[in-house]
Amino acid sequence: MAIFTGAGVAIVTPMKENGEVNYEQLERLVDYQIENGTDSIIICGTTGESSTLTEEEHSECIRTAIVRTNKRVPVVAGTGSNCTETAISLTKQAEKDGADAALIVTPYYNKATQNGLKAHYTAIAKSVDIPLVMYNVPSRTGCNIAPATAVDLAKNVDNIVAIKEASGNISQAALLMQLAEGCIDMYSGNDDQIVPLLSLGGVGVISVLSNVAPKETHDIVAKFLAGDVAGSRDLQLKAIPLINQLFCEVNPIPVKMALNLMGLQAGPLRMPLSEMEPEHTENLKKAMVEFGIKLAN
């Protein structure tokens, strides 16, 4: 059984103006997401600026999301690291705190070999009992999980059950699902490819778009899985201009700006990320309004 089916939000980590994590606003964002149809909370992923959180902040964000969600939807904790021992420590703590699953990004910068990836994921999986989602995002990490590697891990390690596929390579995703023969759940890691990956057998999306359009992102998946492929496709295509603006600068720069424009107080970014360029902000505002999102000002 899948950890979740549908649209999981790769939720931002809201910050105060002094740069501290705004845990109270994180609770409000969790409520907003669940009230608007999000199927899972994915906390401390790339969109959550996990790379600039201390380990203490990282675990506290995960605990906050788990407690606030209170079993209403599954919570998937981003606990990956380019250090295997750090990933094990974070994942063990997330399991202790009640996470339903963990999202483990490939080791960035180290650029592990395929054998290294197998050893990395196996070591983390064997340290806990909760299910793991592998996170394949080569554009960020410089490291790609080959389809054969993902399938080998899923077939040989009981609690490696899913992959967030964000390579952008549809051919790779197709090969993965062909080799898997049903042994792995695939989530789209790209908002502009939700429908294509669902058509290959995917079960949902881990989404940046869901931060600002939770209901619509949920509906893209729900309609497809209910057999309304045309309705799903139409929603996907309608969202493309907004998705393009949400990625016109490095994620999560635009999505935090979008939330601030909606009055949802995502706050500033942590360096080395910088605030959005004014021209890009205007383009984002236009795309949000055209999509039907109400701005606070």
Dist CA 13 CA 29 (whole Å): 9
Q: Which two tokens stand for residue 265?
A: 């107080």
HSE of 127 in the Cβ direction (CA atoms, 13 Å)?
Answer: 21
Dist CA 267 CA 132 (whole Å): 30
Clarify whether 187 is annotated catalytic.
no
Q: Which residue's entry shows tokens 């070999």?
A: 113
Clarify whether 135 is annotated catalytic.
yes
Q: Which two tokens stand for residue 253?
A: 């720069």
Please calculate the CA angle 49-268-138 and round it to the nearest 5 degrees. Answer: 25
Classify burial at 164, counting beta carbons within 10 Å of its beta carbon; exposed 0-12, middle 13-18, buried 19 or more: buried
Dist CA 61 CA 65 (whole Å): 6
Region of 6 (left: φ > 0; alpha: ψ -120 to 50; beta: rest) is left
Question: Which one from 118, 121, 164, 256 is the annotated catalytic residue?
Answer: 164
* Cα–Cα distances in angstroms (integers) from residue 91 to residues 13, 85, 145, 152, in the given order: 18, 10, 20, 21
Question: Which one from 121, 135, 187, 256 is the annotated catalytic residue?
Answer: 135
- In sequence order, what are the residues at sequence separation of 6 or more whose Cβ sits closer than 8 angstroms to the Cβ of residue 258? 211, 212, 246, 284, 288, 293
Which run of H or of E encompasses 164?
Answer: strand 160-165
Point out the residues that are catalytic: 135, 164
